[in-house]
Amino acid sequence: MTRPIRVAVLGGGSWGTTVAALAAVNTPAILWARNDDVAREVHEQHTNTRFLEDRKLPESLEGTSDIAEAVTEADVLVVGTPSHAMRETLELAAPHLRPWVPVISLAKGLEQGTRLRPTQVISEILPGHPVGLMAGPNLAREVLDGMAAAAVVAMADDRIAQSLQALFSGRRFRVYRNDDLLGSELGGVLKNVIAIAAGMAEGLGVGDNTRAMVLTRGLAEMTRLGEAMGGQARTFSGLTGLGDLIATCTSPQSRNRRVGEELARDKTLEQIIEEMQQVAEGVKTARTVMELAEEHEVMLPICCEVDAVVNEGRHPRDAYRGLQKPAARSEHHGVA
């Protein structure tokens, strides 16, 4: 008899914990959290109140702060740490991971300095392992509350993707497949920057028409850069593109949207990050996105204004004035 597939999730934040909970319903699963108290609470009390309030987790879900304990027997490794902590975490995990174990990223950012996507960091630290991601319009608390949601497992090997679908699917959580790993990953990266712009619109009270314009033109920017980097245009109209963009730009639970709102209300970025006590990937990603846009000769006016706000101190009010300057061209300019 073969033993059940064992899933290890690295990262005790809201989404890492939620994915571990989804897996634990279907198969043995363990969650590694850097914080001892979080790991102990998950293991003993089956909650993670720091990130998920009093929502109950499956009693079968194990928790640990010992990375060797989490990784040694893993048949699937899920990396749910923020992009800036991924390399360090993987270097700790690497000596304990068996060969050929699939590794799935949940991160939606870019590594600063190298500009590598999370799956590229994984491939660099863990060569020889099949690499993919799971992403979509997924707000952790709603998923744990049993509200219907969907995600995409994106990776080159469709056979492995099919087997992973079953591990994370639930009665109200659907998991699709996509072989466009690059496009799927870029959608998750770029939408966080657009979400800050959407939050700025909310904080400024600019109206529904303007919010709709930001989302629509933001999607055009995502598609434009994504295609220039080798992604498929249709990916950006799917769950990891448009779907994730809508959820992140419209939900009050969105960390990136909240950053934009608070900046528009005259709080400093330092104040906002301290109050949130969580990572908003768009803040760290905005400058890197603009570097990629310059490299690929792509115009991203919304992302450019967000970068100016979070990295150069421009006020959101001035950023929205700046968006009025470029002349309107064909709606499909730059999109194949």
Is-contact 104 90, C-beta < 8 A?
no
Cα torsion at 65, 139, 22, 241 (round to 10°)? Answer: -110
To which residue do tokens 């929502």 refer?
Answer: 55
Sign of the alpha-carbon torsion through 112, 117, 118, 122: negative
Spatial CB neighbours of 159, under 8 Å, sequence gap ≥ 6: none
Alpha-carbon gap, residue 228 to 175, rounded angstroms: 27
Active-site residue among 56, 191, 267, 325? 191
Helix, strand or coil, per DSSP, at residue 205: coil
**Tokens describing residue 257:** 């949207």
Alpha-carbon gap, residue 117 to 183, rounded angstroms: 11
Tell me, rounded to whole angstroms, the distance of Cα 4 from its chain centroid. 28
Is-contact 28 7, C-beta < 8 A?
yes
Q: Which of 19, 68, 71, 76 is nearest to 42 (CA)?
A: 19
**Tokens describing residue 156:** 């080159």
Burial of 296 (0-12, 13-18, 19+ CB in 10 A): middle
Beta strand 131-135 pairing with 149-155:
antiparallel
Q: Could you confirm whether 108 is annotated as catalytic?
A: no
**Tokens describing residue 294:** 């310059």
C-alpha separations of 194 from 12, 107, 260, 322 in Å = 26, 17, 10, 15
> Active-site residues: which are they?
191
